[in-house]
Structures are given as structure tokens and as C-alpha cells.
Structure 1
Amino acid sequence: MTSTTPRVRTGRITFFVALAVFAQESTWNLYDSQVPPLLREHVSSAALIGALMGMDNLLGIFIQPWMGNRSDGTRTSWGRRIPYLVVGMPVAALLFVLIPHAAVSLPLLIAVMFSYALVANSFKPIAESLLPDYIGPERRSRANAAVKIASSITVIVAALISLFLIDDFPKLSFAIPAVLMLVSVGVLGWRVRDSRSPAYQAALEEDRSEMDAGPRVRMRDVLLDIVRDADRSRLLVILAVFAFGGAWFASRSLVTNYGLETLGLSRGDAGGLTLPSGLAFIAAAYPVALLAERFGRLRMILIGMAVFATAMVLGTLVRTPTGTVVAMCVAAAGAAAFMVNMAVVLWNLAPSARVLGTYTGLYTVGWSAGGFVGPALVGGMVDVTGWPFMLLDVGLVTAVAVLLVARVAVLQRRSPDGHAL
């Protein structure tokens, strides 16, 4: 593997990783937007709806790190990631189409939601791990920005479906992102063989130098290394991902019901509240990546979270559809700084190419755990304070993440090299 290989393949592989993430998020965003109203037909408690919406993230806590670790130890002619994607994505697409048809009863709806979440969570960290497999630490922020832009486009797709189709075609609407997933995974399976990635080749070299250990690093050993590390940076990063993930998922999964209960909107109009924020995220993602590479990723993450929390306060003070849209746009721009750079921070802290998938899984564990706890926590706060204060409740959760990242920044300033953060 020559030193120029990563540069030659950076643009191409960034496109294909973005395509893989687009395939996943095209279903997840419509899920977050339109499954809560389906639950609302059977359940009145905001806390219970939030808990059910967080079920997929609870599953992700257990499935994603295991699958990431399993893919790290996989050795095939297609590589260690692609085989899982070409099997899992079509199954998830089929289950997603079944969700609105299962809404005739709560138990059936929950069963299909569970099945979809189980399959979709199994390949989520695997697709995202392709990026650090191919791209070196110094370029990962801008590459991850492109991936997050692709993810944000799916927010726009979901919002457009909510605005123009969901009220008239509630079942057919779910088929659109499922078809997008099938097309995307078809292209991905056709064009990508990650056995050629620099990280895969580096892992093979490590395998050869540690013949007795085998290709797979045990999940238990990775976790013990993180917990026992006196620096604590990796552990605090995962906790910060958990806290901000809770705030983000709460703001997304409860906003449709917020529009219904507080702003008096229809289901379709409430589901479209996030449409402009997708554009704001796209506009902010690449600039915050460039700024992070110049001024430091942790600094940009802190600024972004502060912007996100301020936007939640703004939305609470200006309680109108326009005020909410503006608040969601500002919040999305702030969230971009976190979502583009925090995974890169954790990848750059990984001690070996053999555990990049595991570290992606641990990132998604924090994100998924936050996604499970956040909507339920904020939903419980809403049950106490009322729907008008939902955005403010989200801002309070964000403050916890700010404190954790601030501590990581202090630790990295004391570190000799700062791990290129």
C-alpha cells in the first residue's frame, strides 16, 4: 500500500460512505418524524411515546458495538464491512415498509418497530466505519462533513414526504425511503470492496505480527482499556455523545407532537417543521469541518453546543411556527459542529486500525443510549412542565454535554500531542 493511495481514493470513498449513510438515514428520519403520530393513536403519555421511540436506540446500545467489533475481525475478499451491508439493508427496507400497515394495533406496531430497529442497528456502525478505514486522521473532519451532509439531505426528504404525501398517502409514503435504501445499497455493493482500504491492510499487517492473537480484538479488552485509562478522555467523549445525543433525539422525535400540541399545526405541517433545519445543517457542515481542522475540533464542538442550547431558549421565547423553524435552523447549524467532529475525535483516539469499527460502535452506543434516554427524559419533563417548554427542556440536557466536552478539552491541553484533536 503506497502512501499516496488514501489521497487518490478520498473523494471516491467519501461519496460511497455518504451513499451508505444516506441509505440508512433515509428511513430513520421518516421514522423519527412519523412513527410518533402512529403511536399517539394508541398512547396518550408523552413519556411513553418517547420511551417507545427510544427503543431502537436501546437496541443499538447492545447491537452496534458488537457488530462493529465483529466486522473488525471479519476477513473476506469483499473486506470486513461490505458483506454485512448488502445483507442487512434490504431486510431493513422491507421491515420499514411494513410499519404503517402494522399501526392497526399497538402490539403489532411495536413488534414491527422492534424488528426494523434490530436489523437497522446491526449495520449502522459498519457503514460509518468505512470512512476511517480509508481516510487518515487529518482529513476526517471534512470527509465526515460530506457524510453528514448526505444524512441531512434525508432530513429534507423526510420533511418533504411529511408535507406533501403523508396526509394523503400515509402508507405509500414509507415505501419511498425504503426504495432509496435499496438503490443505494445496490450501488454500494457493486462499487466498493473495502478489502483495499488502508486500515484493512494495516489490520492484516497487525494480524501477521500477532499470529497468536488472531484478527479479532475482544470487545472486553477494548472496554477495559478505555475505562482503565488514567486520561479518561475517551470515556468522557462517549459520555458527551450520550448527553448531546439525548438532546438531539428529543428535539427531533418530539417536535412533531410539539407542533400538534403547542402550535396547533396539522400532522403534515408539524412533520415539516424540520425541513429548513436540514438546509441549515447542510450549509454549516463543511465550514465547521474546515474551522475545526484549523482551530481545533473540541473548540468547535463547544461552540456548536452553545449555539444549539441558545436556539432552544429562542424557540421557547418565540412560540410560533416561524419562531420554531428559526430555532430549529440555528440549532441544526450548532449541532453540525458536534456531529461532524465528535466521531473524528473518538476515531483519532483509537490505538489501532484493528478497532476502528469497535470505536465507531462505541460512538453509536453513546449516541443510541442518548437517543433512548433523551426522548423519554424530555418527555417526562414535558409531562411535568407542559409542551410549551419542551425546547427549553432540551436545552437543559445540552448543558450537561457542554460540561463533559469542556473537561475533555482541559485534559487534551495537558496532553503532549492532544491526539490531533
Structure 2
Amino acid sequence: MTSRLNYGKTFLLGFGFFGVSVIWGVYNAFVPIFLANKFHISAGVIGFFMTLDNIAALFIQPPVGAWSDRVRTPLGRRIPFILVGAPISAIAFGLIPVAAVLPLFVACTSTLLLSAALWRTPVVALMPDITPSAFRSQANGIINFMGGVGTIIALQTGGILFDMSPNFPFWLGSALVILAALVVYLFIEEPKEYEIKSDENRNSVSGFFGFVREKFLVSMSGLVAVAAVVALLSMTFPDLRTVGSEFGLPPYLILGLIFLAAWFVYLYVFYMAREVIFEQEKSGLRILLAIFFWFIGFSAVETFFTLYAEKHLGLTAGTGATLLSVLPLFFVLFAIPSGFIAGKIGRRMTISIGLVIIIVMMVLLYITPAEALLTGIAPLPLVGIPVVEGGARMLTLAGVLLIFGGIGWAFININSLPMIVDLTGAEKIGTYTGLYYLFSTLSAIVGPISNGIAIELTNNNYNIIMAIAPVFFAIALVMMLGVRRGEATA
């Protein structure tokens, strides 16, 4: 590993994240359309279906990250996962639009979800593998910039191609994933110095199963509690029976399998990360909890903003989506600068500034009247909105606040993964990358549910998300104030 940032290799590695972003950009935009128009699936079941990627990531990415730490092949410890997972993802993704019947469609999407979860953690873990600690924030900014470009291509080009043929955006995505995997394979060389003997590998595996045996009684009591919760949910929520009828499975079986898999994965991750949980100095646990809480807050905006724009601001859903688009746009624009800012003032300080920016942004959105939020400030093509019907696209006060939100989110998101991986040595980078995805993905599941309940309890007042989300960001800020490790080292 060199003592400086290799910009060329970092941009080339960014193609891996570029490929991941293209897939999910197209998937999230167009799979619901197939489910609704082609297979006539209800909205509730579509919502459940679209959470399966988070569920797959929650169960698969953490143990795969830990597994990749222990793999040793002539190609390295991360590349084999990419060479296996990326082609399978590309093939399954390309078959999604041509699946004529629902079971085949589900088979293609399930294969995609499983294979994509297999290689995402290893490709992200490659960044700290090949980048010195002092430059990991800058490198993560470059990689997230590439991911943002992938998302923009997926949405902009994908939308044009979808109007030509529903197959085209998926086939483009498949081709770009193969290209991205080839670029990583051909141009990224993994470090060779991390070795592990075969008997050490066996001991780590036997140690895990010994840990499971040790926690057997705890596991059994947990599973009994899970069974009781599953039974209660099955009796309480009729929507679960709808899910079962659509997919031919009883709801208790669906939930039971999910909870059983979750229990095993959490035992595994708990074993791999026990030093983070039980270490005397709690910086690692504080950072992971901060990640969990700020993603819950961000999911409120991401999930419900178009409804907030429609119900509170009086905009159409399409105009609301356009208004929100300035946030990810400025996240991409500030992805690289935020890494360099952290290199100057520190990661914890940069993240804390980002949290304060977003808290202020959301509070101002909450307390400012809707009419004032839609005040036109300056002409802004493409991502501006018409403040009067048929008028020119304008940058509004709400748009300005969302621009600051995108900048703050870049400060937070770009520097959190480097802090996590710098809590450990090179031999456990994949494990800690998996922990990052564990907490962020869990919040992506919990966040929309908890924020949705809050909206219902306030008589469908969508403005309430701008009051609740800052609370989660404030909790994250408190967590970050106690962090003492995770900064770049020489």
C-alpha cells in the first residue's frame, strides 16, 4: 500500500460501486411498474416486495464481509466474490423484464437480491484495503461520486430507454455491471500481505459454532419469543395474509423464516463484533448507533417527501420528486469535497457539522409556512420547480434548504465508513464494513415503518416528519460527541 492516494485506481474501483448503483437505480424505478401493470399486484404487496432487497442485505452482507476477511485465493480475498456475484446479478437483472409469469419474475429478482448482496460488501471493502488510512475519506468521496453518477445514469438514461422498450434499461444495467466487474478485476490489485493459516481459518469457524453452542439456551428462548411475536402479527395484520395469498405461502411461514434467518445472522455478527460491543472504550458502538439513528432520520425524508410535498406543500407528486432531486444532486457534487474537508478538520468534526446542518434544515422546513417555502428565489432549469402553473422553473426556499441538506448528508455519509474501518486492523476490514451495512440496512427497514406510524398517529400530518427526523439526527450527534477513535492515522 502506498503512502498517498492513487486517484486513478480509486476512480477505477469506483466502477464497482457505479455498477451496484446502476442496478438499484433501475430496479427501484421500474420493478414496481412491472409488479403493478404486468402482474397486477396490490400496492401493499409491492411495498413488501420492494423491502426484500434490504432484508437480503441485512442477512447476507455482514457475514459475507466477515467471510471475505478469511478467504485466501490467488485472486485475493475480495475479487472472487465480485467475479461470482456480478455475472449472476447481471444475468438475473437482464431476465427480469422478459419474465412472463410471476414465479419466474420472483425467481429472477430473488437471484438478483441474493447475488447482489454477495458482492457489495467485498467491493466496498476493497477501498480501505488499497487506500492508506489518511486518505480513506477522500477515496470514499470519489467512490460515492461514481455511485451517484451511476444512479443519475440509471434514472435519466433508463427513463428514456424504458419509453423505447421496458427491456432496454435492464439490459443496459446488466452490461454496465459486467463492465464494472471487469474494470475492477483487470485494474485493481489486492494487497498480498494479509495471510491466515488454514488451521486458524478452521479455528475461527469452529469458534463460531462453539459460541452458538454456548448461547444455545439464549437462542432457544429468543426463538420462542419470535414464535409468539409471529403468531401475534399473523392474527393482527390482515395484510400479511394478503402477502401469503399472493406468493402461495402462509404469513407465519414467511415471518418465521425471516426471523429465524435474522436470529442466526445476528448470532454470527455478534460473535464477529463482540470486541466492539464489549470493549471498554465505546467509540465503535457509538459510531454504529449514530449510523443507525441518522439513517432512520434520513429515511423519513427519502420515503415520505413526495407525500409531504403533495399533502403539505400542495405540489404534485412529480413536482415534489423534482424538488427533492436537488438533495442527491448536491450530495454527489459535495461527495469528493467532503472527503477533503475531513482530511483537514477531522472526520468526527465533519460528520458533526453535517448533522447540525441537516437538523437546522429540517427544523426550518417544519416551522416555515408552506407558502414561504415555495417562494421563488432564482431561475433553475431541470431541478427547479414552477411556482405558478406554466411558469419558469425556479429555485425555491425549500430547494435552498434541501441543497444544504444534500451538502450535510455528504459530510455525514462520506466519512462514516472510513471511521468504521479505521476502528480495526486490515485483517477485519470486511467484518467492519459488514457491520456498517448491518446498522444502516436495519435502519432502512425500521425507519419507514416508525415514521409511517408517526404520520398515522398525527392524523396524516406529513409535516411531522420534519419534526421527528431531527430528533434522530440529534441522537446521532450526541453519540458522535463521545467518539474518540476512527480518525485517519498516518
Q: TM-score scaled by structure 2?
A: 0.71
Cα contact 1:259–1:265 (8 A) shared by 2 = yes
Task: Output the CA distance in 2 between the equivalents of 1:383 and 1:77.
Answer: 55
**Count of residues in correspondence between the two structures:** 398
Cα contact 2:293–2:443 (8 A) shared by 1 = yes
Cα contact 1:141–1:344 (8 A) shared by 2 = yes
Cα contact 1:36–1:253 (8 A) shared by 2 = no
Task: Output the CA distance in 2 between the equivalents of 1:345 and 1:23.
Answer: 24
| Pairing of 1:45-124 with structure 2 (within 5 A) | 45=44, 50-101=47-98, 111-124=107-120
1:358 is the counterpart of 2:431? yes
Alpha carbons of 1:180 and 1:82: their partners in 2 closer, same or farther (altered >3 Å)?
same
Deviates more, 1:316-325 or 1:140-149: 316-325
Deviation at 1:418, TM superposition (A): 6.8
Alpha carbons of 1:148 and 1:40: their partners in 2 closer, same or farther (altered >3 Å)?
same
Q: State the partner residue of 1:300.
A: 350
Task: Output the CA distance in 2 between the equivalents of 1:375 and 1:236.
Answer: 22
Q: State the partner residue of 1:370.
A: 443
Identity of aligned residues (%): 25
Give 5+ residue unaligned stretches, structure 1: none
Cα contact 1:298–1:405 (8 A) shared by 2 = no
Deviates more, 1:248-257 or 1:111-120: 248-257
Determine which of 250, 264, 272 is the counterpart of 2:316. 264
Deviates more, 1:183-192 or 1:70-79: 183-192
Deviates more, 1:162-171 or 1:225-234: 162-171
1:406 is the counterpart of 2:403? no
Task: Output the CA distance in 2 between the equivalents of 1:11 and 1:393.
Answer: 39
Letter in 2 for 1:25: S
Q: TM-score scaled by structure 1?
A: 0.81
Task: Output the CA distance in 2 between the equivalents of 1:37 and 1:314.
Answer: 35
Cα contact 1:53–1:253 (8 A) shared by 2 = no
Alpha carbons of 1:276 and 1:283: their partners in 2 closer, same or farther (altered >3 Å)?
same
1:213 is the counterpart of 2:200? yes
For the pair shown, the structure with the greater C-alpha radius of gyration is 2
Letter in 2 for 1:75: R
Cα contact 1:50–1:254 (8 A) shared by 2 = no
Task: Give secondary structure in 1 for the equivalent of 2:482.
Answer: helix
Task: Output the CA distance in 1 between the equivalents of 2:114 and 2:310.
Answer: 29
Task: Output the CA distance in 2 between the equivalents of 1:418 and 1:19.
Answer: 26
Q: State the partner residue of 2:408.
A: 334
Deviations 1:26-79 (A, max 9, x none): 11123334445555663345xx65544332112212211111111111111111
Q: State the partner residue of 2:241.
A: none
Letter in 2 for 1:346: I
Letter in 2 for 1:184: A
Alpha carbons of 1:388 and 1:53: their partners in 2 closer, same or farther (altered >3 Å)?
farther
1:155 is the counterpart of 2:151? yes
Deviation at 1:22, TM superposition (A): 0.6
Which has the larger helix fraction? 1
Task: Output the CA distance in 2 between the equivalents of 1:120 and 1:43.
Answer: 26
Deviation at 1:285, TM superposition (A): 1.6
Deviations 1:352-371 (A, max 9, x none): 21110111111111111122
Deviation at 1:182, TM superposition (A): 1.5
Determine which of 316, 330, 353 is the counterpart of 1:280. 330
1:178 is the counterpart of 2:174? yes
Alpha carbons of 1:44 and 1:76: their partners in 2 closer, same or farther (altered >3 Å)?
closer
Letter in 2 for 1:222: M
Q: State the partner residue of 1:13.
A: 9
Alpha carbons of 1:175 and 1:386: their partners in 2 closer, same or farther (altered >3 Å)?
farther
